[in-house]
């Protein structure tokens, strides 16, 4: 989910109570369209982030967001819920995320996002569970995510975070890895080589990825696109996520190609669809519409919300109000 994507769905919460937002999020009426459920989710996120000044409301918002994990059938929504909880910086979310990560009844894409969220929170108390899932989860994307989360937590609390000179990010997201520090004066070809070197630790390859994102030129975009030839589905899905953040039309051809890979992991194709919606260049509309009947639920739903994003980016609307219809 790109930064622009989140901004699109994030609205002023004054028009709805927390309980009304919860009801929209969990689709209490049974008639709420997916885009409005996303809007309710990001409204609740803004409240959950205010734990320092409004602790009771923030705790309640976390509890309401977490209700989505219980009975919801949308893998896309639940994975987004996990992402949001990690972005709140609110450690009240950690116990729920640990439970979801270890729950084999949850889809792998949801378990992966819960693990990533624990890394984003920097929760040291989750290290035991992350190590357990890194060894025992049957899905490789979940295991790889746990590896990244462990590294991120250790980086956050091990002193390196305070010593490194990092570029000021243009993006508000808490990412699975920080960019490489500026003192490592690597060229784009050097970063591309590190990005695609399977002998390097995944955490280091991610750091190269986010350094290329922060450079953000067409050359950097093309370097990132070479990552779509990697074996790891997790790695490829993160490349697509980064493209959604950058918002460069230069990424569109490779994203269209990845979305069209029927043999590709759903988590990769879904992220490619969302990135196309965030970039919102004219050619993406027909492409996204052509996948509205895709046999993979998470891809089909991603195209729905991506088209909603496209319509918003290309309209004169300044804000949406979350409603139940």
Q: How crowded is residue 141: how many other Cβ atoms within 10 Å of its Cβ?
A: 21
Closest to 296 measured CA to CA, from 255, 256, 268: 268
Q: Is residue 252 part of a domain?
A: yes
Indicate if the pLDDT at residue 279 is higher than 80: yes
Q: What DSSP designation does 138 have?
A: S
Flag whether 321 is in a domain: no
Nearby residues of 28 by Cβ (< 8 Å), 6 or more positions away: 22
pTM, rounded to two decimals: 0.91
- Structural domain contains residue 324: no
Residue 152 lies in a domain: yes
Q: Whole domain around residue 242: which residue ranges?
A: 3-313
List the binding residues.
79-80, 112-113, 237-238, 270-271
3-class SS string, 50-84? CCCCCHHHHHHHHHHHHCHHHHCCCHHHHHHHHHH
Binding site residue list for Fe cation: 79-80, 112-113, 237-238, 270-271
Tell me if 319 is assigned to some domain: no
Checking if the pLDDT of 294 tops 80, the result is: yes
Q: Quick check: 85 pLDDT over 90?
A: yes
| Share of residues in the chain with pLDDT > 70 (%) | 92
Q: Which of 47, 82, 57 is nearest to 68 (CA)?
A: 82
Total domains in the fold of the chain:
1
Tens digits of residue pLDDT in 188-225: 999 999 999 999 999 999 999 999 999 999 999 999 99
């Amino acid at each position: 989910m790109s930064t622009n994507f989140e901004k699109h769905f994030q609205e002023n919460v004054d028009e709805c109570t927390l309980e009304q937002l919860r009801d929209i999020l969990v689709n209490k009426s049974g008639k709420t369209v997916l885009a409005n459920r996303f809007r309710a989710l990001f409204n609740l996120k803004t409240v959950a982030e205010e734990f320092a000044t409004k602790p009771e409301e923030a705790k309640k918002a976390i509890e309401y967001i977490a209700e989505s994990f219980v009975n919801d059938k949308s893998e896309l929504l639940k994975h987004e819920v996990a992402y949001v909880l990690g972005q709140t910086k609110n450690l009240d979310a950690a116990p729920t995320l640990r439970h979801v990560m270890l729950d084999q009844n949850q889809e792998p894409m949801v378990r992966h996002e819960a693990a990533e969220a624990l890394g984003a929170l920097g929760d040291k108390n989750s290290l035991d569970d992350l190590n357990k899932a890194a060894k025992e989860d049957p899905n490789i994307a979940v295991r790889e995510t746990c590896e990244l989360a462990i590294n991120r937590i250790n980086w956050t609390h091990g002193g390196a975070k305070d010593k490194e000179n990092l570029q000021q990010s243009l993006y508000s997201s808490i990412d699975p890895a920080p960019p490489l520090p500026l003192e490592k004066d690597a060229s784009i070809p050097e970063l591309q080589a590190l990005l695609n070197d399977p002998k390097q630790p995944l955490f280091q390859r991610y750091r190269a990825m986010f350094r290329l994102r922060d450079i953000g030129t067409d050359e950097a975009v093309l370097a990132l696109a070479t990552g779509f030839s990697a074996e790891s589905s997790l790695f490829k899905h993160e490349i697509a996520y980064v493209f959604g953040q950058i918002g460069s039309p230069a990424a569109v051809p490779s994203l269209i190609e990845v979305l069209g890979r029927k043999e590709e992991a759903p988590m990769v194709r879904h992220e490619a669809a969302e990135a196309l919606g965030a970039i919102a260049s004219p050619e993406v509309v027909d492409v996204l519409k052509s996948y509205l009947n895709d046999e993979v639920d998470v891809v089909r739903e991603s195209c729905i919300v991506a088209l909603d994003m496209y319509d918003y980016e290309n309209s004169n609307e300044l804000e949406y109000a979350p409603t139940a219809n």
